Amino acid sequence: MALRPERLVGYIARDLESDLARWLPDAERVSVSPGVRPVAPFAARMPGGAAQVLLDFDAKVRSGALASLYRLNICDEWTYGFDFASHGVEVLDADRETDIAADVWSLATDGGGNHYVLLTNGQVALWIHDEGGLEEGGAGFDGLDALLWWKVRAAAVHRGVLTWSDVEPELVALQEAGVILDVECG
């Protein structure tokens, strides 16, 4: 059966730790300051399943259990949990018409100043810093589980633990726009 985004639901809670132990056991772990704003108020605005995924991810980030992953930089309150709205930073929707800064949770940067952001509907988008808006054309991920599934594999390929041919069949089947963009840029 081909890999589909819905099969990745629950990845962070179910499989993330074992994948990190298998492919990235000695990778540096993410560390954020206690000053990062609480995630619960944002999660409360999301559908139940998506909220739980964010809460699971947040627990891993804050506990130091998450490995540092290739092109998913989480280091402080300027990356993880960055509050665009309170800092007066616009986050325009993909049509560049509406500021949705209050409706995104910053997950990480991509190493080039762009932010992976979680939308209240549970989807992940890329905020392009020099345009002030989300990547046009829906170049994101169906959810946070799909983003982490891909980033763990990308990190393993980058470190030489996996090869591109190890991951390519599943990536092609998955058809996540964010994977395609990431591969083209990286």
pLDDT in tens, 39-49: 999 999 999 89
The segment with the largest mean pLDDT, out of 89-103, 112-126, 170-184, is 112-126
pTM of the model as a whole: 0.89
Can you tell me the mean pLDDT for 113-123? 92
Bridge partners of 117? 106, 125
Q: Which long-range contacts (CB under 8 A, 24 or more apart) does 130-135 make?
A: 131/92, 131/96, 132/89, 132/90, 132/91, 132/92, 133/90, 133/91, 133/92, 133/93, 133/94, 133/96, 134/91, 134/92, 134/93, 134/94, 134/100, 135/94, 135/181
